Each structure stands twice: as structure tokens, then as C-alpha cells.
Structure 1
């Protein structure tokens, strides 16, 4: 996992999933990060507690 994260962090672009591994890869890469537009689904239990600013930095 450490080598995989280092390789992703060295990339110019990262496609992120909803997991923390993808978050850290994108955050460490300092490059372009693509992520889900409509996450979480509106009205879902997660939507009620999810704070997008905590998961998606402004520079993404």
C-alpha cells in the first residue's frame, strides 16, 4: 500500500473514489483530482452529515 500511495502521489492527475486511500493520493499529488460530482446521493443518511469542504479541497 505504501508504494501504491507513493506512485499515485507522484501523478499529475488522480481519479478519486469515495475512499480515504484515494483522498490521500489526490491530496498528496497536488495535481488535478477528479471525483464524484453528486456524492453523496441527495437525501441519503450520509448526505445529512457529510461536509463536502472536509472531503474536497477548493483547489480540486
Structure 2
């Protein structure tokens, strides 16, 4: 029975980490959209290109 609890604990920890990673990724994505909007409003092309590149990378990983 002890092995079962260790396995369940490990699975729960892994699941919690997956949810945490997803939340962090979603938060960063939302911030990137806001920063991209600001860069567009300012006409800041270098920032826009850097931010959209980061957004594409983030989306390709998720």
C-alpha cells in the first residue's frame, strides 16, 4: 500500500506542475498580446517584431 501512495503522490505532483506551467504560459501570452498592442500603438517596429517572435515561440511550445 505504501508504494501506491508514493505513486499517487508523484502523479499528483506532476499534474500540479503541468497545471502551473500552463497557467504561467497563459499569463505570459496575455501579457505579450498587451505589449504587442502597445508596440503597435507607438509604431515601435523593433519591439513589435521581438514580441511577436516570442509569442510565436511560446505558442509553438504549447
TM-score of the aligned structures, taking structure 2 as reference length: 0.31
